[in-house]
Structure 1
């Protein structure tokens, strides 16, 4: 009897940690494990806003898969997933096809524009290492263009960020730190630069404690960030946005959209039922109707039974989902009971750039400023340790003092 074949799609937080856990639970005789990813590296999605702002080097945010996943235990396939055929238990890749006994889908997110005209065509997005690096280079190019132009346009130095959720706020925080450096480099008056954050909701960082939100907003405004809250972007154009019911036009050469994400479109194209762009998975993280397909991370909605609402898809949840997913695949192979996913909220900390941060840990203890920033680094380094041990922390970590 041939051993079962486990195929994992995507080397994000969920895919990498599920692979690590499967390696720990299953021997090479128990199962064949295949990890498919379109790049030969894994990247820290939660660091992409820093890459986009230019406050860390892109290489700092990525890890070669073969450095942390033993290629003698796991077959690493560098290819692009084109379609999943769950009824045939097959996956179509750009350069071939894979069959499977168990499938783990962690293909990440795509930009959700909610039908805003021009947003898909004209706005940049913090989605990958390459796209984030492009934003970094684009921002610096605007300063260079302004510096070298005889009659520079003001919109060259206007940076619009759509969305005041986690990514949007962390990105404007990094921009607030990077802009003074670029002003000095290109001899530009800081007062000529605008960072405008636009949000349809009446507050930034929905779901955070009111005191923390006030602290975050004050910290960012003190460093020059403008907020337009309760204001919808009606249209995105090549040279700016139209906002609000009065159709105000804000000219800008740089527009970054962080206002929403949805599951990789491959899921919908492969016949999985979507709710608001994602799959509502069962409590054991399997896709409804399929006993052999697990869907994790940004591709999935996992319901909180107490609130009746899905958990927000964070890196913390993806890592915990990986533990349950690996345990359940192990259980299916060995004929034991499956686990239900229960989220253990260890807190959430948002970086606001430089030494600025805020958030909660454990039972709601609030942290502000440097202590919050240090905790953010501890959280980042903990993941690196889980992924690659002390060596990876020493190589990529944020343990160094300020």
Structure 2
């Protein structure tokens, strides 16, 4: 065995995570490769969702993903440590606790807020650039209302209830939008008149969201004003004090809360390393995303300073830049080690989306030369869809499911673009009588038919009679069967296109061409009867209720499409839909058995690696 090639990735942000996953996949069968990802926190933070936690729309744990969960059963060694320096000549990453040799280094340390040397800005403002920032900001806002409700001094009370967001870009607009939406709930909870709360968004630029077209900017402004947010543009900040923000030529705003969202620069480690930098501490790279100083050093995500051919500006510091640069770096490192052609970075960005609270957003999406503007429902739909695509790359089904739970099913105060229509608000215990009733009906049906099956399995009575050998078509035979059934009980009508599909499947699988049934028909009928008994028992006992409910829907639908379903079959199908969402967790075996199964299910290597579980 030869000496191992060592790849060290510094930073567990968007770029670092995706690069490590791509490298792991490319080198999954290579025992002579060692991939190490170093971050000072044990979790990956979803920076684009910080505002949701800061304004109490989503729970705190919704914006964190355990790094060890992300890389479970993958050849990536996750190290909890803080990098303090890098010796590029000796190829050593130095940290607080250790040092790490490397053959190839990927720098993805991300960014931090920049304060433009404005007096008091860093000292007296609240930032929103980490999980801790979001949690602290939420608690700070709540404390302002807690203090205000007890404050009798008018001037002090006004400062407590005034909130200023500095920065009219994505982060600033999303934060102030969330505050505008949360305000009503806070005022109700703390007995404060809504007119007392003042919200401002301030920016030095002449307009907010400057990369968007004017029509979308106007829609965003209209939404902000509807939330009683005052927009102050062309107002450069000259100083921030303990209880005010001072603007050039625009006076000042007295406030105890100033949230800084006015731009970013490279993380602290970047300023101390000896690589050529441009802009706000961004590392200059070539078209292969290698540092121009060292060929074995690659740069991913926000840290890249690279101007693509034909462009005038460097690649933007946004998630899509990390998504597109990560696979290219993985490919180029693989080419370095295994041989092959390196690729040049030719990003094709597909736009941007901004949510203004949980109910409204604007988006400018497409591809170069063909962008379209969206607002309202469509913009929010696209934002959630794009988020799910990214989360699937990071932690598969597991994270996508928890995201849906937080954004739609457990949403607070209808703060979603679909309102509270998907919110799980009704208690499961109210579904217990329905579960028992539907279970009893299926069990009764199955037990009634079971003796006939046991007595003569070839006696087919659940499938329409086959066409006679005198040339009648399957369709006429099925029709005559349905007519015969109607003489006894009125049956549910079946659309013609479904009837045609059923006729084809009957002729293919169940009719033998001699006016009789195939063995498969006997097996199918026996399976249906046994299924009715099992579904009934599972629903009554509350065991695997979700599966039993799905089976109830499927069986009811099959009976309906056969043309032999009485109208009461609607109840079986409808009740099955209502019972899917956990009715067995109340007075049912699911309460005891599902936690045990989940515990052992998560330990299965395949399940753990592909995130096929819920938390």
Would you call these one fold, judging by a TM-score over 0.5? yes
Partner of 2:423: none
**Could you say what secondary structure the match of 1:304 adopts?**
coil
Q: 2:122 is matched with which residue: 113, 116, 120?
A: 120
Q: 2:296 is matched with which residue: 273, 292, 297?
A: 292
**Could you say what secondary structure the match of 2:215 adopts?**
helix
Matched, 1:9 2:10: yes
Whether the 8 Å CA contact 1:301–1:313 is kept in 2: the answer is no
Q: 1:281 is matched with which residue: 285, 289, 292?
A: 285
Q: How far apart are the structure 1 equivalents of 2:183 and 2:85?
A: 42
| Gaps in structure 2 of 5+ consecutive residues | 410-417, 420-615
1:221-244 per-residue CA deviation (whole Å, 9 max, x = no partner) reads 111111110111100111111112
Partner of 2:244: 240
Partner of 1:268: 271
Q: How far apart are the structure 2 equivalents of 1:45 and 1:297?
A: 13
Q: How far apart are the structure 1 equivalents of 2:379 and 2:399?
A: 23
Q: CA deviation at 1:71?
A: 5.5
Matched, 1:93 2:100: no
Aligned ranges 1:115-194 → 2 under 5 Å: 115-152=117-154, 153=156, 154-194=158-198
Q: CA deviation at 1:30?
A: 4.3
| Gaps in structure 1 of 5+ consecutive residues | none
**Could you say what secondary structure the match of 2:164 adopts?**
strand
**Could you say what secondary structure the match of 2:223 adopts?**
helix
Whether the 8 Å CA contact 1:384–1:393 is kept in 2: the answer is yes
Using the size of structure 2 for normalisation, the TM-score is 0.64
Partner of 1:337: 341
Which has a greater percent of helix? 2
Whether the 8 Å CA contact 1:159–1:196 is kept in 2: the answer is yes
Q: 1:365 is matched with which residue: 358, 367, 372?
A: 372
Partner of 1:256: 259
Matched, 1:324 2:331: no
Whether the 8 Å CA contact 1:163–1:199 is kept in 2: the answer is yes
The structure whose RCO (Cα within 8 Å, separation 6+) is larger is 1
Q: How far apart are the structure 2 equivalents of 1:326 and 1:78?
A: 22
Mean alpha-carbon deviation: is it higher for 69-78 or for 223-232? 69-78
**Could you say what secondary structure the match of 1:364 adopts?**
strand
Partner of 1:50: 52
Partner of 1:303: 307
Q: CA deviation at 1:399?
A: 6.5
Partner of 1:207: 211
Partner of 1:103: 105
Q: How far apart are the structure 2 equivalents of 1:158 and 1:88?
A: 53
1:83-110 per-residue CA deviation (whole Å, 9 max, x = no partner) reads 1221221111111111101111111111
Partner of 2:200: 196
Whether the 8 Å CA contact 1:124–1:257 is kept in 2: the answer is yes
Q: CA deviation at 1:260?
A: 1.0
Partner of 2:397: 390
**Could you say what secondary structure the match of 2:252 adopts?**
strand
Cα–Cα, structure 1 residues 32 and 16, in superposed 2: closer, same or farther, change >3 Å? same
Whether the 8 Å CA contact 1:377–1:399 is kept in 2: the answer is no
1:235-271 per-residue CA deviation (whole Å, 9 max, x = no partner) reads 011111111236x221100011111100112112111
Aligned residue pairs, count: 401
Q: CA deviation at 1:165?
A: 0.7
1:38-75 per-residue CA deviation (whole Å, 9 max, x = no partner) reads 11111111001212222211200111111121255111
Q: How far apart are the structure 1 equivalents of 2:74 and 2:342?
A: 28
**Could you say what secondary structure the match of 1:200 adopts?**
coil
Q: How far apart are the structure 2 equivalents of 1:392 and 1:229?
A: 38
Using the size of structure 1 for normalisation, the TM-score is 0.97
Whether the 8 Å CA contact 1:195–1:224 is kept in 2: the answer is yes
Mean alpha-carbon deviation: is it higher for 147-156 or for 218-227? 147-156
Q: How far apart are the structure 2 equivalents of 1:251 and 1:92?
A: 45
Q: How far apart are the structure 1 equivalents of 2:395 and 2:358?
A: 26
Mean alpha-carbon deviation: is it higher for 145-154 or for 286-295? 145-154
Larger Rg: 2
Which has a greater percent of strand? 1
Whether the 8 Å CA contact 2:85–2:95 is kept in 1: the answer is yes
Matched, 1:222 2:226: yes
